[in-house]
Amino acid sequence: MEPEQRPDQHELLLDEDLGAPDVPEYDGLALSHEGYRAKILEYIQPSDVVLYLTSDAKEADPMLHGRLAGAVQIADPIETIDIEFRRPGIKRPVEHYRKDGKFRWPFGISISRSWRFIDQVSNNVLIPNHADYGMQGAATIHPMSHDQIAQLMSLQVREVIKAGESERLPFAGSLKRPWHPKAGPRAATVIDPGRELYIAWIADRHGLTYKVGSGKASERVAELNRYRRGSLGETLWSKQSSYEFDSVEGARAAEDYILAEDNTAGHG
């Protein structure tokens, strides 16, 4: 598929790999040949999500043979990296090297997020035709269909972060749900999650939808629109109103109160 033919809904793609991804600081979308990377760079876009199907090869993680291993999100901006040296001081498994001693996947593309699947799903169940691509097809990426994406979004994942793994969430929720960090010192900096209570809205084919949230309103609305493509005619979320509290805790308490009252009234 040529880049100009790419359908906007195909922002999720699949790739065949030997195991689950690591944290973005140490990992990336890894390719065995520079030509494969060049081909992918013509097609892929920032923030695309690539699903890993574990290979049946003997070098692959034996606990994941033939199953979904994880997923990664392409960094924005897109950058090329050398995968072999992303983990300084950490010895890589022997199966990551060929018989001649060369690293198997030196040609990388940087990633911003990564996930591991909790639900153990066979490649054949989610992508019945994946074997049709053959060995050469496994060296690159392919778009997923609407039905495959919908099934994937319901599966349980944990995001892989430097300090460990996140809470268990459906993949759709993990992709779109912003973190709720606490204010205060952390890693030689000060985190300010924002003190605004905001209401955002969108009018699309599903009707009129409102969202109540807390934090930095402009950042949260931008996060809601991360996977929406206004340049292609998709409707975007907009901020309807906001109110700034004296503290992060006050804004979050107001959000929780409104959502509780909303649920009591029978709204989703």
Give pLDDT, residue 58: 46
* Per-domain residue ranges of the chain: 3-176, 184-264
Q: Which pTM does this prediction carry?
A: 0.57
Percentage with pLDDT > 70 across the chain: 75
| Count of alpha carbons within 13 angstroms of residue 215, beta-carbon side | 21
Fold of 3-176: ph1033 like fold (3.10.590)
Enumerate residues 6+ apart whose C-beta is below 8 A from 100: none
Pick from 152, 127, 137: nearest CA to 53: 127
Enumerate residues 6+ apart whose C-beta is below 8 A from 203: 209, 235
- Read off the tokens for 100: 């001649």
Q: What is the chain's alpha carbon radius of gyration, rounded to the nearest angstrom?
A: 21
Residue 80 has pLDDT above 50, yes or no: yes
CB atoms inside a 10 Å sphere around CB 196: 22
* pLDDT tier at 161, thresholds 50, 70, 90: confident
Give pLDDT, residue 23: 86
CB 99 within 8 A of CB 9: no
Q: How far apart are CA 103 and CA 94, in angstroms?
A: 9
CB 97 within 8 A of CB 106: no
